[in-house]
Amino acid sequence: MRQHDWCSLAKNLKIETGLFIDGHFVEALKGNRFDSINPATGKVLASVAYGGEDDINRAVAAAKQAWHSGHWRHMAPRTRMGILMRLADLIERNSAELALLETLDMGKPITDALTIDLPEVINTFRYYAECIDKIDGVVTNTAPEALHMIQREPLGIIGAISPWNYPLLMASWKVAPALAAGNCVVLKPAQQAPLSCLRLAQLFIEAGGPPGVFNVVNGDGPVTGKALALHMDVAKVSFTGSTAVGKQIMIYAGQSNLKRVALETGGKSPQIFMADLENLDAAVERAYGGIFDNAGQVCNAGSRLLVHRDIHDAFVERFIARSSQAYQPGDPLDPATTLGPVVTRAHQQGVLEKIKQGSLEGAHLALGGSAPAGMEQGAYVTPTLFTGVDQNMSIAREEIFGPVASVMSFDNEAQAIAIANDSIYGLAASVWTQDLKTAHRMVQAIEAGVVWVNCFGDGDMTQPFGGYKQSGNTRDKSFECLLGYTQSKSAWFNLE
Ligand code: NAD
């Protein structure tokens, strides 16, 4: 579709704005609403129902009723599989509409929403649907007078709290495995991008999902998210967001019912370029894609570029020349646009402030560093590159969550690893080298949950995705993640 077609589709889009509880849309009990703003235009996109603590209680009660009815958790595995497969098909059929909601709500380019986010959401539901009848228990090797079975059971009610950078995808990484394992879910999406998840819940019912099994309550963090994380009937909170809020979620679990807490939090991922890498052009292309895709609003964004001194100047020169061509800010509804606005005006100001700080601390601003001229209506930030960065500078230590990269040079492998690991984060990293032994050594030495060799951001649903250190305590995607939504039950039969 062309830009014009997306604009007319946007004009005629029916946007759901209620809370989704027990299988249908309802108003918030107190009737409160908040505005969802399109960050490309600064205009109000929709007025959305704002759920308070009473609404969270209502949603958890609906989930509890669905849980106790047993309709979902005791459904024959392949019947449950059929519903999630149908949901995946419905998402596919409604891809254009869902992609449009993402773009209007949080500013990502429509081509990215359509070719990255939506296919990944569909993959996520299909993968976890396929896993349902692969969850095995075991019978252990006991004396003949006993039979010992260990089976896996769902946990109960899952509170899912998700971020705005890939609104539907990050929510799906929680909702799909939680539902596949037989749990009931209350999802609290990020208030900056609340719309697409409402549609997802509606499609779940259309696919044949029982009411109450999947509920969505929009609202903010300190009230709505907190009420969910403190709720005594929630068995587990699965959270993706900032490290600061992740710490708070652990406190809520301790203050309430010791619910399980799964955290996927921030990152400051190093991309390491050794002097012997095979193809500098390919490496540079992945380097800027790794930080400028989604306007840098990616948890594993490769924001620290560690470049061997021998190739530093050639690397920087190509990075600047090519990335400024490849990432031009534009209207996210134009299929040719590669760089949309960041999610809100406030976030834009925060990113620009961190850029200013980088310059004040003595880094050299080699590219960008401002809001692009002529695009003041939107929350845009130009692709930005700092060179001459010291590891102690704030731009090298703090997560910026915008299109801002820092280049640091190194002389040898040990130095590269020391810089890479000198971070409170450990979500992801990449290593570029032709030498298999170097690659293998570095993979072992790097403190990160995901290490890419001669690529960046690659993977499929079998890949456990999550962090070391303060980047989190769990893994999304993969079978490992699905098991995190189950618990073991040991049944010991006395046969004497
Ligand atoms: P955030 O921490 O501000 O918010 C995340 C979610 O938590 C939102 O739904 C928010 O409403 C809710 N929340 C905020 N305060 C809360 C509270 N006190 N109690 C309960 N819930 C609360 O993060 P964000 O700005 O939405 O997202 C960006 C962050 O997410 C970045 O740090 C990024 O690295 C991280 N992230 C991590 C991954 C991963 O897989 N590790 C993936 C995507 C994003």
CA distances from 17 to 24, 104, 219, 228, 337 (A): 11, 14, 11, 20, 28
Q: Using a 6 Å cutoff on CB, does residue 51 contact ligand 1?
A: no
Among 48, 161, 425, the mutation site with the greatest number of ligand 1 atoms within 8 A of its Cβ is: 161
Question: Given 53, 145, 153, 264, which residue is catalytic?
Answer: 264
pLDDT value at residue 309: 98
Task: Locate the domains of the chain by residue range.
Answer: 3-265+473-490, 270-460
CATH code for the part of the protein at 270-460: 3.40.309.10
Q: Digits of tens for pLDDT over the chain (496 positions)?
A: 899 999 999 999 999 999 999 999 999 999 999 999 999 999 999 999 999 999 999 999 999 999 999 999 999 999 999 999 999 999 999 999 999 999 999 999 999 999 999 999 999 999 999 999 999 999 999 999 999 999 999 999 999 999 999 999 999 999 999 999 999 999 999 999 999 999 999 999 999 999 999 999 999 999 999 999 999 999 999 999 999 999 999 999 999 999 999 999 999 999 999 999 999 999 999 999 999 999 999 999 999 999 999 999 999 999 999 999 999 999 999 999 999 999 999 999 999 999 999 999 999 999 999 999 999 999 999 999 999 999 999 999 999 999 999 999 999 999 999 999 999 999 999 999 999 999 999 999 999 999 999 999 999 999 999 999 999 999 999 999 999 999 999 999 999 9
Would you say the CB of residue 247 lies under 6 angstroms from ligand 1? no
CATH for 3-265+473-490 is: 3.40.605.10
264 noted as active-site residue: yes
Q: 109 CA distance to ligand 1 centroid (A)?
A: 21
Distance CA 212, CA 62 (A): 5
Which run of H or E residues covers position 431?
A: strand 428-432
Ligand 1 and 171: CB distance under 6 A: no
Angle CA(450)–CA(456)–CA(458) in degrees, nearest 5?
75
Q: Is the dihedral of CA 170, 305, 449, 251 positive or negative?
A: negative
8 A C-beta contact, residue 470 and residue 424: yes
Nearest to 3 by CA among 375, 378, 333, 330: 333
Residue 339 is given by DSSP the state B
Q: Nearest CA to 268 among 123, 468, 20?
A: 468
Cite the beta strand spans of 113-173 per DSSP E. 138-139, 146-154, 157-161
